[in-house]
Structure 1
């Protein structure tokens, strides 16, 4: 794993690719970093001159000039610092915007199998927190390290130029601090990687529990889930405490080395001055007090900035793992799906969600254009899977699915799905207005078209009864609406898209009595004149179907009209009817 390396050059090079559109700004940040180093190094050099050439000689006018020069150097240092920090952060934000856009678009191409396996909280962490950490590579890591290195080079050059004897004391101490910094950096890298893992686990846990809060409360799982949360949260705390522990050890040691070096310089320099050595002056001692602080502070902070950079690279590696995933639906079709007539055929289709465990075991099925068929069967028979395969949410293992005589893989994916309208049992609504949930922000569907469609299927009155009517915000997952109302919105969503093929996946199973008449009217309206496949639950839908297909354990075991299937004594449909639907009729 890349996190085990001290520096992953492969990941770093890949991140740097995203700087190419901003090459001018990238180079500008480096220029400001160099200017910052030069002006910062000038201050202690000017201080030496001030003391030796003017204060000691009581030259007031010369002192004034030097003070003004120091002021000018300080102003330039401040300006360089401002532009350096501003441009570095600006560059980082533009880069993570580009990466986040690319990642989000890439996730849209994944098969449903990927989302079945990947925890939602983990994907949220990758898209939000991890990408924010990448920005720190530029704002807190790479450029800060380059700036500090440039500053250290400038300082060392001036130190040797001004007094090479005192400078050697500093040089001798530096490898000790570098060695300690290196050990600290390695330890912190491992600690930060553990922090990111625990944060991902924490996000996943919270995401799932908040989404499933109703189940938690219904089954009185509050205390159990709270204890699980405490355990995960405590692991996250321990991971962070480890980073605090390393910091608590490193920085006092670094300060001690800096203080000892300064003490040695003052002691040695003082002895030389007292001994009459004219090459060492009081200005040297004053300036070296600044030199050592300015030299050692970046050196010890480089470890911290290197950690920020590594944390960003670890996060980048996680993001690149998703970008490198080849779990996309292969959209290699070249044919633009026309307005389908609606003839559908499954030819010996085999499929399994897990390798060597088939859910669909050689289905052969024909649906004529304009025909309404109902698919019934016990739970796990493979009913919904057929719909998932037709929309290419999952790829079949073998066989062929054709619409209007052409394999669905030959059509461009977007154009294929535009021709198939789906109403699911579990309706998902976004935290947005009813209008936007119906149109899904498709500019080709106007408000007037939505209202006209709502009138046709009989749901306009229900929507107008809501505060704000079509502009009513349904909140997250449509929490402000009942299950029946959400189903009505889903029917209208499918209807306004004007699909050639309509799929109702047990779309009426959770309807309340109040909404039942509206749903039946909506069903009749939207299925009229188009090929419709209904994963059946309600008796009324099954009776009116042109053909009923009965599935059991991944196979089609019976098909025919309602009356034909009822006439089969001991048949699968007859048994289903007696056990499930007859009770509904009696009620």
Structure 2
């Protein structure tokens, strides 16, 4: 199956909220369009209204809001006169020389370098030269010629201010919608990652520290959130801005617009080059962040050991090595960013303005006024605006690379093969368990279980004993299907467990571990695990059955007493009693006690043993125990040695055999007598 690229997968997540994103982009497009009308409005104000008085004027007979009184005659700009209007024979044109304005009775056929000598205006354009008799305009006369332009200028400015106000509203809406979509995307992604963590096989966590998994769920997804909130928003905004600016430039001057298009391949080439180097640093940075998370998590979990064995200095040194490596790679990335961001933009900006000056100064201004001041202003304005989105794009390249690398790590976790959640209902087991010639290896090379065969009938208690590493816990791991067997078969009520969905298999099984795990919540929620099918009465009955009520009654809030992470405020025995109650509340057909009484005092053990005699009725119970006194009443005891069953029988039968079990019993009996003495 072809692997889908990271970019495509991120795009698919964005498509989940495409409606919100498309509305935001539509609002952005309108806002950009409104903002980019500014130079065009300024161009019209300059060319048609401010510099427009230099256009030809003709005498008219009728007065309106566009006419000007000069020397007791009515004049109107030639371009504003309709065909039906009656005109006189007099004409004039206004010319600006320096800071003064002059009027001549003739229309200028061309423009060029202007000079004034007395009442004579001279215009030079290349080899051509022409002179005109002119009169200097007074301030009042000049103001009269500008008077018809005031209203259109005010209207244009009002129109532009109105557009900017609407654009601001749309910009706000765009930002709000894009951030809302980004937060939704990351919420969905985090949910997917967390759900997938629940489905990946147990062995996945054997080689991956918890801190590194946490880093992917929190740090990496947060980096991806920045991609949608900042990077993509900047890229979309910049893309629309640049598109609008290029369209405007083509309206103003096609040739110069084509030259400015050279910016695009330069940006693309720079982006490719940047990603080539930045990707390496970002991978190393994200890896070190993950390593730091893993070490911090491990240090917190093992804080008592670190302090007890005075490992504080060594632990700090180990952390500092990781921290220094992270710092080094961050600095290298910062150097790369500093080299490629503002420096690139400044170089491109300066080149663009050199081209602009050469083009307008060297060609247009000598070509009989082909380029107006309004066009020049608009072009400079658009060119300035063009480099803001360029700067935004270049500055976001670093964030883009970080997000891309983070996404690769998240998708790597999501690509781990998981177990599909099965909602089918499976009838409660009878509890008949059989191992048929089962062999198993964790690494695929060395078998930790070899040809294991035994039968546990409904209601029986089967004890597993043996030295550390003999395979006791491995049998339970296979029974729960935390791992799948390599050879042989395990059946429950005659059904092959490899063909039973894991969720349904475990639904009718309960387990109590040597080191019970309690979640943040209350005593009640730790028993029910918030399962709505388990009532409060069932919870409290389970706690009573295991004898937990004795210490619960002494707590301020009793059954609703808050439990901190891992049950740190409770003793080992109290945590174990709650763990027993949890297993019983789920009413399992098969109950596993994995050295469940190892950390419990003799008095608490007696309470649990009494409760177990009641709750084991009708259940198949597997007990892993080092203390042989706790399994004296087991129906069947399996003695394991290096992954093989070397002895089997009940307590009395095994003692009579005088084998490994007998030696273990005698050894423990001797220790107990010594301790008693």
TM-score scaled by length of structure 2 = 0.80
* Selected match of 1:95 from 151, 171, 185: 185
What secondary structure sits across from 2:645 in the alignment?
A: strand
Q: Report the alpha carbon displacement of residue 81 of structure 1 after superposing the two structures with TM.
A: 1.9
Change (3 A) 1:464 1:262: farther
Secondary structure of 1:359 counterpart: strand
Whether 2:125 is the aligned partner of 1:35: answer no
CA distance in 1, matches of 2:414, 2:623: 36
**Corresponding position of 2:597:** 508
Change (3 A) 1:190 1:298: farther
After superposition, what is the alpha-carbon deviation per residue over 1:175-224, rounded to whole angstroms, capped at 9, x for unaligned? 55664454334333333232222211221221221122222222211111
SS in 1 for 2:666: helix
Q: Could you say if the C-alpha distance between residues 356 and 440 of structure 1 is closer, same or farther in structure 2, counting changes exceeding 3 Å?
A: same
Counterpart position of 2:91 = none
Indicate conservation of the 8 Å contact 2:484/2:498, yes or no: no
Tell me which residue corresponds to 1:308: 399
The structure 1 residue matched to 2:473, chosen from 384, 402, 412, is 384
CA distance in 1, matches of 2:450, 2:263: 74
Q: Distance in 1 between matches of 2:193 and 2:216?
A: 9
Report the counterpart of residue 636 of structure 2 in structure 1. 547
Label 1:367 to 1:188 Cα distance change in 2 as closer, same or farther (>3 A). same
- Which residue in the other structure is 1:5 paired with? none
The aligned residue for residue 323 of structure 1 is 414
**Equivalent residue in structure 2 for 1:131, among 215, 221, 241:** 221
Whole-Å Cα distance in 2 between the matches of residues 304 and 187 of structure 1?
15
CA shift, 1:272, in A, is 6.5
Q: Which residue is equivalent to 2:666?
A: 578
Unaligned runs of 5+ in 1: 3-7
- SS of equivalent to 1:544: coil
1:386-405 to structure 2, matched below 5 A, reads: 386-405=475-494
Output the CA distance in 1 between the equivalents of 2:167 and 2:354: 28
Alignment of 1:6-405 (within 5 A): 10-56=5-51, 57=53, 58=146, 59-164=149-254, 167=257, 170-171=260-261, 179-253=269-343, 254-262=345-353, 265-266=356-357, 269=360, 275=366, 277-326=368-417, 328=418, 336-405=425-494
Query: How far apart are the structure 1 equivalents of 2:156 and 2:466?
Result: 92
Q: SS of the counterpart of 1:559? A: strand
SS of 2:447's equivalent in the other structure is coil
Query: Is the partner of 2:657 in helix, strand or coil?
Result: coil
Aligned 8 A contact 2:342 2:391 in 1: no
Aligned residues: 578
Please give the alpha-carbon distance, in whole angstroms, between the structure 2 residues aligned to 1:317 and 1:181.
Answer: 19
Contact 2:281 2:333 (C-alpha < 8 Å) held by counterparts: yes
Unaligned runs of 5+ in 2: 54-145
User: What is the CA–CA distance in structure 2 between the aligned matches of 1:360 and 1:149, rounded to whole Å?
Assistant: 62
2:480 paired with 1:485: no
Change in Cα spacing, 1:423 to 1:173, as seen in structure 2 (3 Å) is closer
In 1, the alpha carbon distance for the partners of 2:540 and 2:672 equals 34
Q: 1:335 to 1:291 in 2, by over 3 A?
A: closer
C-alpha displacement of 1:48: 2.3
Distance 2:265 2:549 in 1: 78
Encode CA deviations 1:42-67: one digit per residue, 9 max, x unaligned: 12222222333334454322221121
Asked if the contact 1:140–1:309 (Cα under 8 Å) also holds between the matched residues in 2, the reply is no
Worse overlay, 404-413 or 195-204: 404-413
Task: With a CA cutoff of 8 Å and minimum separation of 6, indicate the structure with the bigger relative contact order.
Answer: 1
1:411 paired residue among 476, 500, 504: 500
SS in 1 for 2:349: helix
Cα distance per residue 1:367-397 (max 9 Å; x no partner): 1211112111000000111111111111011
Deviation per CA, 1:391-415, whole angstroms, max 9, x where unpaired? Answer: 1111011111111222222333222
State how far apart, in whole Å, the 2-side matches of 1:238 and 1:160 are.
Answer: 47
Would you say the 8 A contact 1:145–1:306 is kept in 2? no
- 1:461 aligns to 2:550 (yes or no): yes
- Residue 345 of structure 1: how far off its partner (Å): 1.0
Contact 2:547 2:577 in 1 (8 A): no
Which moved further from structure 2: 316-325 or 375-384?
316-325
Following superposition, the deviation at residue 157 of structure 1 comes to 1.9
CA RMSD across the alignment:
2.6
Distance (whole Å) between structure 2 residues aligned to residue 502 and residue 289 of structure 1 = 80
Displacement of 1:271 after TM fit?
Answer: 6.4
**Distance in 1, Cα, partners of 2:262 & 2:650:** 94
More helix by share: 1
Task: Label 1:270 to 1:62 Cα distance change in 2 as closer, same or farther (>3 A).
Answer: farther
Call closer, same or farther: CA 1:41–1:9 in 2, change over 3 Å: farther
* Aligned CA distance change for structure 1 residues 512 and 51 (closer, same or farther; 3 Å): farther
Distance, in Å, in 2 between the alignment partners of 1:13 and 1:274 is 50
Change (3 A) 1:489 1:300: same
Shift of 1:585: 4.9
Question: When the two structures are superposed, what TM-score results if normalisation uses the length of structure 1?
Answer: 0.91
Given that residues 337 and 398 in structure 2 are in contact (C-alpha distance below 8 angstroms), is that contact kept between their aligned partners in structure 1?
no
Which residue is equivalent to 2:119? none
Query: Residues of 2 paired with 1:525 and 1:532: CA distance?
Result: 12
With over 3 angstroms needed to count, the CA separation of the structure-2 counterparts of 1:581 and 1:430, relative to structure 1, is farther
The answer to whether the 8 A contact 2:543-2:578 is kept is no
Residues 442-464 of structure 1, C-alpha deviation per residue, up to 9 Å, x if partnerless? Answer: 01112222112222322112112
Q: Secondary structure at the match of 1:567?
A: helix
User: Conserved in 2, the CA contact under 8 Å of 1:459 and 1:488?
Assistant: yes
Greater Cα radius of gyration, structure 1 or 2: 2
Greater shift, 221-230 or 516-525, is seen at: 516-525
Q: CA deviation at 1:225?
A: 0.9
Q: Distance in 2 between matches of 1:46 and 1:243?
A: 43
> What's the CA shift string for 1:134-154, capped at 9, x where partnerless?
333332233432331221121
Deviates more, 1:28-37 or 1:543-552: 28-37
Quick one: distance in 2 between partners of 1:182 and 1:19? 23
